[in-house]
Amino acid sequence: MDRRNFIQAGSAAVALSGSQAFPQSQTTPKRKRRVCLIGCGWYGKIDLFRLLQIEDVEVVSLCDVDTKMLDEAAGRVAARQTSGNRPRTYEDFRKMLSEVDIDIALIATPDHWHALPMIAACKKGIDVYVQKPIGIDVVECESMLAAAKKYNRVVQVGMQRRSTPHLIEAKKQIVDTGLLGDVGLAEVYCYYHMRAKTNPPDLPAPPHLNYDMWTGPAPMRPYNDLVHPRRWRAFMEYSNGIVGDMCVHMLDTVRWMLELGWPSRVASTGGIFVETGSKANTTDTQSAAFDFDDLRVQWQHRSYGHPADPEYPWGATLYGSKGTLRLSVHKWEFKPIKKREKTISQDAVYELEQYPEDKIEKDLERHVAPAVRGHMKNFLHCVDTRERPVSDIEEGHISATSCILANMAMKLGRTLHWDPETNRVVDDAEANQLLTRAYRKPWIHPDPSKV
């Protein structure tokens, strides 16, 4: 398919705005859906509480290796759900998933702990909402996709830009109507000062944290304050850095907007050039190029200095023959080439009056809450209909693997040519060795042929 002429008349149906984009369940459940959460930290609670806002589910179980965090989450859930019940609590997801009364699992652990719980939930016949990026290495991602298919599970990935109301409207108004014209370049970028800058001493893990279980299949590092909670993305042992955290969102946004599949080539350069005093081992500067035939998506991040455009410190810019579309989580703006035509723009939707608890909820990203709700509505609809959700596991596989390949390309110092039919880098044995990361014993790396 010619990517410069990708817009089809039927594509507008994908980008319906408002409630049309996220139809509620077509059937009335005979009983409340029974939900569990694995990973009770920041975004786990954001996801779960948005779900509670759109349907009267029963949260039956919570799992976390930090007992202090687990107890706090159980109390907040009991206060939020209509039954008032306090969920059962577990430190080990395997024991929790052995219960027979779970319909849906939300997974919001650190990235290195996404694959094994997701696959285990699929095997138990549970539908899953898993945070992005889906895996820590390419074969993990491939195995998660294989598990969803084998066990016929609905899996929604937390790449909620696809459910962001104002971005749905940008796709509908600008992209699907052809106002951009031919698109040859999209730039995606992040200039947030988000990389850890400190060098804290290594210490014993706190007594309320099972650090061995927290580390799980990842390489064992000494514990320090950057490890837990929330700042673990300082380390490549648990994440894929800023590329795996922020690029995956905006690359996925461009792929959704422009209906792109797999990149055929991925290249990347970068390193730690400025913030050398930090204990963090993720890059503070990195560029990556994702080539989709005659269209390139170009990524850049740096965690220092000012953003290139202060109004768009994290976002995507689509350059077309008829105009330019800038996108962020806060707004979008389309500027046509012809001066006589007006600039079109829209700010983020907040929904604070419809959902007043958003005004006071601790640590909530208020501008993102409507997107998470929309994502959850779409997920529940697909659980009922068995349709593919808007951010299906296959889309999560493509976007996550593309970002992992970028980090591999930077490490190897060469462009990688990707074959999605074989899930291998073409003619590059050294690169293919990096598709699977060694697991720490006794954990066993998933195999897509054996899930």
Kindly state the tokens that stand for 419.
Answer: 């074959």
Confidence label for 293 from pLDDT (cuts 50, 70 and 90)? confident
Domain that holds residue 328: 164-357+394-433
The predicted model gives 33-52 an average pLDDT of: 98
Cβ neighbors of 400 (< 8 A, separation 6 or more) are 132, 133, 134, 135, 141, 244, 248
CATH of the domain at 405: 3.30.360.10
Residue 379 in domain: no
The predicted model gives 370-393 an average pLDDT of: 98
CA–CA separation, 309 vs 303, rounded Å? 14
Please count the structural domains in the chain. 1
The pTM of this model reads 0.93
- Furthest-apart CA pair in the chain: how many Å? 66
Confidence label for 8 from pLDDT (cuts 50, 70 and 90)? very low
Residue 28 in domain: no
Cβ neighbors of 88 (< 8 A, separation 6 or more) are 60, 61, 62, 96, 99
The CA distances from residue 311 to 89, 178, 441, in Å, are 43, 25, 46
The CA distances from residue 383 to 19, 33, 103, 153, in Å, are 17, 11, 10, 8
Peptide bond before residue 307 is cis, with ω within 30 degrees of 0: no
Could you report the per-residue pLDDT of 202-251, keeping only the tens digit for each? 999 999 999 999 999 999 999 999 999 999 999 999 999 999 999 999 99
Please count the helices (runs of H) and the strands (runs of E) in the chain: 12, 16
Residue 139 pLDDT greater than 50, yes or no: yes
Could you report the per-residue pLDDT of 274-284, keeping only the tens digit for each? 999 999 999 99
CB 111 within 8 A of CB 244: yes
The CA distances from residue 131 to 61, 105, 109, 217, 222, in Å, are 18, 11, 8, 18, 26
User: In this predicted structure, what is the pLDDT of residue 402?
Assistant: 98
Confidence label for 110 from pLDDT (cuts 50, 70 and 90)? very high
**Residue 343 phi, psi (nearest 5):** -70, 140
User: In this predicted structure, what is the pLDDT of residue 14?
Assistant: 32
Residue 232 in domain: yes
331-336 sheet: strands from edge to edge: 344-347, 331-336, 323-328, 314-320, 183-190, 295-302, 285-292, 265-271, 416-419, 424-425
What's the CA angle centered on 243, arms 446 and 163, to 5 degrees? 85
Residue 210 in domain: yes
Residue 411 in domain: yes
Percent of the chain with pLDDT over 90: 92
Could you report the per-residue pLDDT of 141-182, keeping only the tens digit for each? 999 999 999 999 999 999 999 999 999 999 999 999 999 999
Q: Mean pLDDT for the chain?
A: 93
Residue 192 in domain: yes
Residue 260 pLDDT greater than 90, yes or no: yes
User: In this predicted structure, what is the pLDDT of residue 412?
Assistant: 98
User: In this predicted structure, what is the pLDDT of residue 9?
Assistant: 31
Query: For residue 339, how many other CB atoms are within 10 A of its CB?
Result: 7
User: In this predicted structure, what is the pLDDT of residue 21?
Assistant: 38
**Residue 328 phi, psi (nearest 5):** -150, 175
Residue 113 in domain: no
CA–CA separation, 331 vs 345, rounded Å? 7
34-38 sheet: strands from edge to edge: 88-90, 58-63, 34-38, 104-107, 127-130, 155-157
Comparing C-alpha atoms, which of 154, 41, 51, 57 is closest to residue 102?
57
Comparing C-alpha atoms, which of 313, 315, 305 is closest to residue 285?
305
- 316 vs 25, which has greater pLDDT? 316
User: In this predicted structure, what is the pLDDT of residue 339?
Assistant: 86
DSSP secondary structure, 27-91, as one string: S--SSPPEEEEE--SHHHHHHHHHHHHHS--EEEEEE-SBHHHHHHHHHHHHHHSTT-PPPEEES
End-to-end CA distance of the chain: 33
Percent of the chain with pLDDT over 70: 93
User: In this predicted structure, what is the pLDDT of residue 204?
Assistant: 97
Question: Buried b vs exposed e over 35-64: b needs ≥16 C-beta within 10 Å?
Answer: bbbbbbbbbbbbbbbbbbbbeebbbbbbbb
The predicted model gives 35-42 an average pLDDT of: 97
What's the CA angle centered on 394, arms 101 and 38, to 5 degrees? 35
Residue 51 in domain: no
Residue 27 pLDDT greater than 70, yes or no: no
User: In this predicted structure, what is the pLDDT of residue 340?
Assistant: 87
The predicted model gives 265-286 an average pLDDT of: 98
User: In this predicted structure, what is the pLDDT of residue 149?
Assistant: 98
CA–CA separation, 46 vs 151, rounded Å? 28
CB 315 within 8 A of CB 189: yes
Comparing C-alpha atoms, which of 412, 371, 131 is closest to residue 268?
412
Confidence label for 22 from pLDDT (cuts 50, 70 and 90)? very low
